Chains A and B, each alone.
Chain A
Amino acid sequence: MKHLTSKIIKTLVILIVGFALVFLNPSGFFNPLRAFFLRAVTPFERASHNIGKSISGSVEFLGSISELRKENESLLRENNDLNSQVAELSSEKKENRMLREQLDLIPKDDFSLVSSFVSAQDPQRLDSWVLIDKGSDDGISDGMPVIVSSGILVGRISEVYASNAKVELLSSPTSSINGVDVATNSRGIVRGEYGLGLVLGMVPQSDTINQGDDVVTSGLGSDTPKGLLIGKIKEVRMSQDRLFQEAIVAPRIKYSKLDIVFVIKNKK
């Protein structure tokens, strides 16, 4: 009985301290400690992340051996098609540049980018973040957009430490960013769906959004530049309150497979 009482008392004390710390959340109190540990473990996290990625890659490769032959044939066919498209695209490139200037979209070459490696990821399913190995020492600050090399937006910097930064991915439930349907120019807010995908919401009933349209950043209300690709509209439906339209947006890349990302510091 005595043993049980001591067990219950210890549990209660830890729970009370735990709740107090969580709810009082002494803002920034643990941040120096967090920055210290992050600096200390980042090399190990990066190594372990790389090992994990290579194991995952090898397993995927072994699983796909049987499909390689088929894939090779289809790639050869695709290569021929692409060769013919290259000629076509070179003339469209010029036109694209002109249109971008008219729309005030920024080509990705115009950004000042900081490349960084992903060293850790969110182990839970509710939140969605990655840790990168660049921080305030490299000029990174809160709110900076993060893209992959092809100009696809993946998230924004949410916490900065000396040599690390936390990137809140677009799929995070607390993430929201202004987006626009490229084809119809309908605007809305892209928010994360608990790590399960993205939704373009708050689109007025009178606007048109179509399945298959690309969604890009609108550049409103944040430091995120206009014209960064977010994803493609997969499905259009009514919002739960039936006041707005919303669209499920399929991201162009798998956020869980991020390896190297680029932080947009500013426009050149």
Chain B
Amino acid sequence: MFRRITILLLIIFVVIMQTSFFPAIFSGKIVPDIALIMVIIWVIRKGFEDSLARIVTLSFFLDILSFRPVGASVIPLVLIAFGTSSFSKRFMMSQHAWKLSSAMLLVFLATVFNSAAVFLLSRLIGYVSSDMPDYLAPTLGISIFGAAILNVITLVAIYFPVKKLEKFLEMYEFKKVILK
């Protein structure tokens, strides 16, 4: 129970960071996507199936507080989780040395994928008009590349604190089982 509440609070904290703290700090076009980073860290550490409930909850809160139609975030994030899980299995990411560097590569690729997916989805549901002028494409491209770099830097900053928190929660549950 304690673990679930902590995870729920962590998810709400991540969403608040995503919608108010980071846009205020960066006050520009590029803002780190901490939700996407958390999804990748969770899948690498806990696997696809064990992270699914967290990803769905995170997406739900993200859509609610970002004024997007509910379900809009779950589509790219679950696809990213699926891809991350397949990648980690294939490249034996159980080795510690590889975990962070592979996560960095995954975050970079996932940011590009997520931006494209969100853009396509927004077009499909009429959230963004389909007549985007051609001259905006390079600017958007540069900003996606910048966001990918920023996300990689953010991953390096939060990877170990998140890992520590997960370990603490695992230890807590383990102790509780032993005491029972």
Binding site for B on A (CB under 8 A): 6-7, 10-11, 14-15, 17-23, 25, 30, 33-34, 37-38, 41, 44-46, 48-53, 55-56, 119-127, 129, 131, 159, 166, 173-174, 193-196, 240, 254, 256-257
Contacts and interface: CB of A to CB of B under 8 A. Distances in A.
Given A41-B65, A254-B27, A52 B20 contact: yes
Contacts of B71: 17-22
A14 B132 CA distance: 30
A interface majority secondary structure: helix
What are the nearest 9 A-B pairs in CB distance?
A52-B24, A21-B71, A121-B23, A18-B71, A120-B20, A49-B20, A45-B20, A256-B27, A48-B21
Of the four ranges (under 10, 10 to 19, 20 to 34, 35 or more), the interface on chain B belongs to 35 or more
30 contacts: A7-B85, A15-B75, A21-B71, A22-B125, A25-B69, A34-B67, A37-B65, A41-B12, A41-B15, A48-B21, A50-B24, A52-B23, A52-B25, A56-B26, A120-B19, A120-B20, A120-B23, A122-B66, A125-B147, A126-B119, A126-B127, A126-B128, A166-B67, A173-B129, A173-B132, A194-B136, A196-B29, A196-B136, A196-B139, A256-B29
Contacts, number: 150
- Main SS at interface, chain B: helix
A194 B123 CA distance: 12
B74 A18 contact: yes
Contacts of A18: 71-72, 74-75, 78
A129 B21 contact: no
Contact of A22 (B52, B67, B75, B139): B75
B28 A256 contact: yes
B48 interface: yes
B173 interface: no
Contacts of B127: 126-127, 174
A23 B79 CA distance: 18
